[in-house]
């Protein structure tokens, strides 16, 4: 019960700070009036309604999506270093965006968001096929190595495109670091639906993912098909990460930092961990975004950089604590 109250309080504080803190600070009365007595001539009301609310929604979608995707990924691969970037999902989205800009010449942010989603989907399917999960030969190490290889390949292709076509550089700068600054131009409703669908799949197959932790042979004996479970898990990861990348760009380390905390709070029950991951991920994104707006105000540091500043030390800490043979 204490954990639930603490998570709810953390999320409330993160949401409140997102709405009231910025270049133009707002008070409680401003928030109330912006929603229930809106004045189009009041700039504070306009900022809250048209900028900060979309930013809040985008942060929650991205943070929850990456947090839950990381939790599913670590459970499936049994790899505490797994996150959406490891399986090449972020790189797939960035590659699709840059290729789309190269072929069409458009820089419309809505179109870029639409391109990010199939890019993430194709990368997820490629990892699934290369990792041997379809034939039932998939293993945590094989899936991880397949993800690392595809991630490196896609990032190399992105770099090659940028070096050959300078006009894609500005577009790539946004998609390589991630930001919530353009949240009001993103397809938030559609990506929320994708997030919910991915989360629903993850919750449904959670007991089967837990069975895989016992080993493929024992899981088959319990009636679980490892290949089918891994495919469903990758579909859930694809939907949740694709939604996150579409609204905020490829954000690093959220999917790495959140799952270990979720395991402690959720007591190693995957369905509980998913719920905790959604709250922690959303809160982390909003707090990082708020901090980025305050550090160098009136300018801002992109949220992808802020999450990396927090996530990189955590990554090093996790690596140092890994026991020999932890990934075998």
Tokens representing residue 57 in the block: 């929604």
What percent of the chain has a predicted confidence (pLDDT) above 70? Answer: 83
Give buried/exposed letters for 278-316 (b at 16+ CB in 10 A, else e): bbbbbbbbbbbbbbbbeeeeeebbbbbbbbbebbeeebe
For residue 249, what pLDDT is reported?
80
Q: What is the mean pLDDT of residues 148-155?
A: 84
How many helices (H) and strands (E) the chain has is answered by 14, 0
Tokens representing residue 36 in the block: 């229930």
The half-sphere exposure of 209 on its side-chain side, counting CA atoms within 13 A, is 27
Contacts with 311 (C-beta within 8 Å, 6 or more apart), sequence order: 252, 253, 254, 256, 257
The beta-strand segments (E) located in 50-144 are none
Task: Indicate if the pLDDT at residue 320 is higher than 80.
Answer: no
DSSP 251-319: --SHHHHHHHHHHHHHTT-HHHHHHHHHHHHHHHHHHHHHHHHHHTTTS---HHHHHHHHHHHHHHHHH
Full-model pTM = 0.86
Task: Indicate if the pLDDT at residue 113 is higher than 60.
Answer: yes
For residue 122, what pLDDT is reported?
86
CA 323 to chain centre: 27
Tokens representing residue 262 in the block: 């979720």
The CATH number linked to 225 is 1.10.3470.10
* Distance of alpha carbon 226 from alpha carbon 233, whole angstroms: 10
Task: Indicate if the pLDDT at residue 215 is higher than 70.
Answer: no
Range of the domain at 51: 2-321
* Distance of alpha carbon 104 from alpha carbon 317, whole angstroms: 43
Omega of the bond prior to 65 within 30 degrees of 0, cis?
no
For residue 167, what pLDDT is reported?
60
State the DSSP code for 187.
-
Decide if 326 contacts 141 (C-beta within 8 A).
no
Q: How many domains does the chain have?
A: 1
Tokens representing residue 2 in the block: 């204490």
pLDDT band at 283 (very low <50, low <70, confident <90, very high): very high
For residue 193, what pLDDT is reported?
92
For residue 195, what pLDDT is reported?
94
For residue 258, what pLDDT is reported?
92
Q: What is the mean pLDDT of residues 245-250?
A: 83
Task: Indicate if the pLDDT at residue 84 is higher than 90.
Answer: no
User: Is the residue at 293 inside a domain?
Assistant: yes
User: Is the residue at 158 inside a domain?
Assistant: yes
Decide if 154 contacts 90 (C-beta within 8 A).
no
User: Is the residue at 71 inside a domain?
Assistant: yes
The half-sphere exposure of 284 on its side-chain side, counting CA atoms within 13 A, is 32
User: Is the residue at 327 inside a domain?
Assistant: no
Tokens representing residue 26 in the block: 């707002």
Per-chain mean pLDDT for the chain: 81
User: Is the residue at 221 inside a domain?
Assistant: yes
User: Is the residue at 14 inside a domain?
Assistant: yes
User: Is the residue at 182 inside a domain?
Assistant: yes
User: Is the residue at 328 inside a domain?
Assistant: no
* Cα torsion angle, 197, 200, 312, 145, sign: negative
For residue 61, what pLDDT is reported?
96
């Amino acid at each position: 019960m204490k954990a639930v109250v603490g998570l709810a309080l953390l999320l409330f504080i993160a949401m409140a700070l997102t709405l009231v803190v910025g270049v133009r600070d707002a008070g409680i009365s401003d928030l109330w009036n912006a929603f229930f007595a809106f004045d189009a001539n009041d700039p504070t009301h306009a900022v809250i309604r048209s900028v900060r609310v979309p930013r809040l929604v985008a942060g929650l979608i991205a943070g929850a999506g990456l947090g839950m995707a990381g939790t599913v990924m670590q459970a499936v691969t049994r790899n505490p270093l797994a996150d959406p970037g490891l399986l090449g999902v972020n790189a797939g989205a960035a590659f699709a965006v840059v290729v789309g800009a190269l072929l069409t010449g458009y820089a419309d942010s809505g179109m870029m968001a639409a391109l990010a989603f199939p890019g993430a989907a194709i990368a997820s399917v490629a990892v699934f096929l290369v990792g041997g999960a379809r034939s039932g030969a998939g293993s945590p190490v094989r899936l991880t190595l397949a993800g690392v290889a595809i991630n490196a390949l896609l990032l190399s292709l992105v770099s090659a495109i940028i070096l050959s076509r300078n006009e894609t550089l500005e577009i790539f700068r946004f998609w390589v670091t991630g930001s919530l600054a353009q949240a009001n131009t993103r397809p938030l409703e559609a990506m929320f639906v994708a997030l919910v669908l991915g989360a629903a799949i993850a919750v449904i197959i959670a007991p089967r993912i837990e069975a895989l932790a016992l080993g493929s042979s024992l899981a088959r004996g319990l009636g679980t098909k490892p290949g089918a479970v891994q495919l469903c898990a990758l579909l859930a990861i694809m939907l949740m990460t694709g939604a996150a990348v579409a609204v905020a760009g490829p954000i690093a380390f959220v999917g790495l930092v959140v799952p270990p905390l979720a395991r402690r709070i959720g007591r190693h029950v995957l369905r509980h961990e998913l719920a905790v991951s959604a709250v922690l991920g959303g809160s982390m994104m909003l707090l990082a975004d708020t901090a980025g707006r305050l550090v160098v105000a009136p300018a801002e540091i992109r949220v992808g950089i802020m999450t990396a500043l927090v996530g990189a030390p955590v990554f090093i800490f996790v690596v140092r604590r890994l026991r020999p043979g932890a990934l075998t």
